[in-house]
Amino acid sequence: MPFKGPSIMQSGLSALSICCALFQTAQGVSLEVNKSGGNASSPLMYGFMFEDINHSGDGGIYGQMLQNNGLQGTTPNLTAWGSVGDSTIAIDYDNPLTTAIPNSLRLDVAKDTTGTVGVTNAGYWGIPVDGSEHQTYFWIKGDLSGNITASLVGNGTGTVYGSTSIPITSTSDNFTYVDASLSTSKAPDGDVYFQLSLDGSEVAGASLYFGLVQLFPTTYKKRYNGLQPRIANVLEAVGASFLRFPGGNNIEGEYLDNRWKWNETIGPVQDRPGRWGTWGYYNTDGLGLDEYFYWCEDMGLEPLLAIWDGFALESGAGTPVTGDALTPYIDDALNELEYVLGDSSTTYGAMRAANGRTEPWKVTMVEIGNEDHLGGGCATYAERFTAFYDAIHAKYPDLTLIASTNEVSCLPSTMPTGAMVDYHDYNTPDGLVDQFDYFDNIDRNSSYLVGEYAQNNVDYPIMQGSVGEAIFMIGMERNSDLIKMASYAPLLQLVNSTQWTPNLIPFTQSPDEVIETTSYYVQQMFSVNLGDTVKEVSSDSAFGPVYWVASSGSGSNYYVKLANYGSDTQDLSVTIDGLTTAKLTVVGDDDPNAANTPDGTPVVPVHSDLKSSNGTFTFTMPAWSVAVLAAS
Ligand SMILES: *[C@@H]1O[C@H](CO)[C@@H](O)[C@H](O)[C@H]1NC(C)=O
Ligand SMILES: *[C@@H]1O[C@H](CO)[C@@H](O)[C@H](O)[C@H]1NC(C)=O
Ligand SMILES: *[C@@H]1O[C@H](CO)[C@@H](O)[C@H](O)[C@H]1NC(C)=O
Ligand SMILES: *[C@@H]1O[C@H](CO)[C@@H](O)[C@H](O)[C@H]1NC(C)=O
Ligand SMILES: *[C@@H]1O[C@H](CO)[C@@H](O)[C@H](O)[C@H]1NC(C)=O
Ligand SMILES: *[C@@H]1O[C@H](CO)[C@@H](O)[C@H](O)[C@H]1NC(C)=O
Ligand SMILES: *[C@@H]1O[C@H](CO)[C@@H](O)[C@H](O)[C@H]1NC(C)=O
Ligand SMILES: *[C@@H]1O[C@H](CO)[C@@H](O)[C@H](O)[C@H]1NC(C)=O
Ligand SMILES: *[C@@H]1O[C@H](CO)[C@@H](O)[C@H](O)[C@H]1NC(C)=O
Ligand SMILES: *[C@@H]1O[C@H](CO)[C@@H](O)[C@H](O)[C@H]1NC(C)=O
Ligand SMILES: CC(=O)N[C@H]1CO[C@H](CO)[C@@H](O)[C@@H]1O
């Protein structure tokens, strides 16, 4: 969607600042942080929301890089596959690998051929070859005693970025499993395909069947079936505190039957059938329930697990589910929680242990559904929430349970003590600024998750919107005794296949092209500079165009977060009695429409060290900027 920018004259700008902007006069704001008192602030404040949208999972953070590798779905096709030399490919329905992977890829080799034959896979709009040791796994059926060469080839250039010759002895009785590694050199772009090839004379006139061909780079933390390191590393650098998963709309399903089913995302990948995702493409579910928990453990994130709550998006197919019909779904959620939390003597805990994880996962938070105030979910949500809440709370009284909306009309008239609510806000930059005091005025009975928020109506986050987000976040942090957790959404985007913009981290399959947007930097700056107590700040200035919040952390660490929503430079003076040194991080741009995109990344944070003899730090904030002063 093309961005229709708002007028540069923001409602928060006074007539004076508009006047003086013409003369390039810097404005002044003095703040004094009160070191006594303050309100406790949440240790989980800034996290991630993940669902498979825009190929953020398959084709994105999930390490497996070949598209359509299991020919899954009710009407499979040959997307991404091709043949090499004197051979053809077809979907074979008579040689299933497993019940879940009911089809294989048949390679029919011409009679009398002597050249190279084989199959290719184009990946998800390319393959990001990062130079690491890669691993391929596949099954093969058919009579062969010879070598298959696995290689990564530049499309158009023919450059080979990695290749290995794999001795194979397979028969037509059953599939033979192949596991091979190949060293690679880093590709300059993502225009690379994967190839399995062999000498045609060894199989002339015959057919070979390939099942579930997989390709991984060396994964994040070297985990089997793990994550793409180039994306995981960028996420890790945010220093976030929690991961909300697996959705989002993607847990709901378009229809009852294609809701996210936890039990079909566990165990060996060849036993996962995948599902038609909510965002218009097939999900392999290779990134499944256990993989999400490994992700959390490896990145130091608290899991926030969402469960399906009786509501699919298209209500035509018998949803929302209510009354007695809910019982099997509640039972299913309890089974899921036993899989996650039960020890290995329990039925489902034993299943988890059999899948390689003996210790229960550490889960303290569960969200019941997603956005149940939308699309016809509201009227029945109070009933559905209560039914799930009662059943789960009875068995797991220590879990924090979260309602998927904060709209009072969709919630039970009295919320159970300790339950949280979820508020979402996609908004224009101005709209986010208008929401600055939203959290000052909420009903203070419940704690909040702000499970999704971001600027909207742009292709990539723009600086003005990122400042708007920072102001919205300052509003949250000022109230972080109640606003426990907040996650920007969506998180990741393969730019070649996109359903929603903007996203925090867009990427292409060019190995280095994982974009740190202006909003990414804001998330990172707020996340790594998290205190535990929100402090009172006094000032002669009112909020707007400069906004702030201060907190203290362990030792004598203080953090002052600031946003300048305007085209004037601002002179800042921040006093924190007795402190002498500070690190200042500023991200901003004179152009409110500046954006980091695959076409260029003009905006980067600037770091500087400040000193003070009397506790007062002075510095300037550029136009359209966000800053964090970390003092001690
Ligand atoms: C600082 O906070 C303390 C504790 O809340 C309060 O008693 C004191 O009046 C505040 N000081 C100023 C200057 O506002
Ligand atoms: C072919 O399969 C791919 C991958 O599952 C899917 O995205 C695409 O929509 C399918 N195309 C057709 C024409 O069915
Ligand atoms: C090479 O790229 C073209 C254009 O994107 C695509 O149609 C073709 O399938 C690719 N080749 C291979 C072997 O994947
Ligand atoms: C994917 O998008 C990038 C950035 O727009 C572009 O350079 C690249 O050619 C695209 N790849 C394909 C396979 O379309
Ligand atoms: C088959 O592969 C093995 C292992 O990579 C290699 O040693 C052997 O030379 C290859 N044979 C042929 C005929 O290429
Ligand atoms: C054939 O191979 C598949 C995949 O490894 C395996 O699940 C199955 O048990 C095998 N069947 C027979 C009859 O050996
Ligand atoms: C998963 O659970 C659903 C019930 O929610 C059931 O219909 C389905 O058959 C189960 N799938 C597997 C593979 O057991
Ligand atoms: C919040 O608590 C106040 C006072 O205890 C009560 O009047 C109000 O109805 C409560 N609101 C909700 C939504 O429970
Ligand atoms: C602490 O919370 C109270 C109640 O919401 C509020 O009135 C007060 O301003 C807060 N203090 C700080 C330092 O944020
Ligand atoms: C602290 O020092 C700065 C200059 O470093 C000065 O501008 C300011 O007035 C001083 N503040 C106090 C309270 O003395
Ligand atoms: C708008 C857009 O890019 N949509 C694409 C989303 O992804 C699917 C396939 O995964 C494409 O078919 C759409 O064109």
Distance from the alpha carbon of residue 76 to the mean position of ligand 2, in angstroms: 7
The reported pLDDT for the residue numbered 315 is 57
CATH class of 12-41+531-631: mainly beta
The reported pLDDT for the residue numbered 17 is 42
Distance CA 454, CA 503 (A): 8
Kindly state the average pLDDT of the residues 276-287. 95
Q: Give pLDDT tens digits for 493-537.
A: 999 999 899 999 999 999 999 999 999 999 999 999 999 999 999
Residue 20 or 585, more confident: 585
Residue 329 Cα: closest atom of ligand 7 = 5
Nearest CA to ligand 10 atom 4: 616
243, 303 Cβ separation under 8 angstroms? yes
Q: Is the pLDDT of residue 13 over 70?
A: no
Distance from the alpha carbon of residue 155 to the mean position of ligand 3, in angstroms: 6
Q: Is there an atom of ligand 7 within 6 Å of 591 CB?
A: no
Q: Is there an atom of ligand 4 within 6 Å of 355 CB?
A: no
Distance CA 549, CA 171 (A): 68
Q: What is the dihedral of CA 322, 328, 330, 333, to 10 degrees?
A: -140
Q: Give pLDDT tens digits for 103-128.
A: 999 999 999 999 999 999 999 999 99
The reported pLDDT for the residue numbered 26 is 57
The reported pLDDT for the residue numbered 519 is 98
Kindly state the average pLDDT of the residues 394-412. 97
With b meaning 16 or more CB within 10 Å and e meaning fewer, what string describes 344-362?
Answer: eebebbbbbbeeebeebbe
Least confident of 287-296, 309-318, 427-436: 309-318
Nearest CA to ligand 3 atom 4: 155
CB atoms within 10 A of CB 93: 12
Distance from the alpha carbon of residue 273 to the mean position of ligand 2, in angstroms: 16
598, 495 Cβ separation under 8 angstroms? yes
Q: Is there an atom of ligand 1 within 6 Å of 7 CB?
A: no
Q: Give pLDDT tens digits for 33-48.
A: 999 999 999 999 999 9
The reported pLDDT for the residue numbered 157 is 97
The reported pLDDT for the residue numbered 19 is 40
| Residue in 571, 613, 616 to alter for ligand 10 test, most ligand atoms within 8 A of Cβ | 616
Q: Give pLDDT tens digits for 179-235.
A: 999 999 999 999 999 999 999 999 999 999 999 999 999 999 999 999 999 999 999
DSSP-derived letter for residue 98 is S
Measured from the alpha carbon of residue 578, the closest ligand is 10
Beta strands in 142-224, from DSSP E residues, in sequence order: 144-154, 160-170, 176-182, 192-199, 207-216
CB-neighbour burial class of residue 538 (10 A; exposed 0-12, middle 13-18, buried 19+)? exposed
Owner of token pair 């158009």: 156
Owner of token pair 């944070």: 605
Q: Is the pLDDT of residue 378 over 70?
A: yes
Confidence band for 454, pLDDT divided at 50, 70 and 90: very high
CB-neighbour burial class of residue 507 (10 A; exposed 0-12, middle 13-18, buried 19+)? buried
Distance from the alpha carbon of residue 446 to the mean position of ligand 8, in angstroms: 9
Measured from the alpha carbon of residue 536, the closest ligand is 9
Measured from the alpha carbon of residue 128, the closest ligand is 4
The CATH superfamily of 81-216 is Galactose-binding domain-like (2.60.120.260)
Helix ranges (DSSP H) in 342-462: 347-354, 378-395, 429-434
Distance from the alpha carbon of residue 143 to the mean position of ligand 8, in angstroms: 73
At residue 326, φ and ψ (nearest 5 deg) are -75, -25
The reported pLDDT for the residue numbered 317 is 52
Q: Is the pLDDT of residue 21 over 80?
A: no
Distance from the alpha carbon of residue 448 to the mean position of ligand 1, in angstroms: 27
Element (H, E) at 276: strand 275-276
Confidence band for 11, pLDDT divided at 50, 70 and 90: very low
What secondary structure, in 3-state letters, does 205-240 show? CCEEEEEEEEEECCCHHHCCCCECHHHHHHHHCCCC
Domain spans of the chain, in order of start:
12-41+531-631, 81-216
Distance CA 53, CA 498 (A): 8
Q: Give pLDDT tens digits for 47-59.
A: 999 999 999 999 9
Q: Is there an atom of ligand 1 within 6 Å of 37 CB?
A: yes
Residue 271 Cα: closest atom of ligand 7 = 13
Measured from the alpha carbon of residue 121, the closest ligand is 3
Q: Is the pLDDT of residue 318 over 60?
A: no
Kindly state the average pLDDT of the residues 281-290. 97
Q: Is there an atom of ligand 7 within 6 Å of 263 CB?
A: yes
Q: Is the pLDDT of residue 20 over 80?
A: no
Residue 38 Cα: closest atom of ligand 9 = 13
Among the listed residues 351, 251, 373, the one whose alpha carbon sits nearest the alpha carbon of residue 304: 251
Nearest CA to ligand 7 atom 5: 332
The reported pLDDT for the residue numbered 445 is 87
Q: Is there an atom of ligand 1 within 6 Å of 536 CB?
A: yes
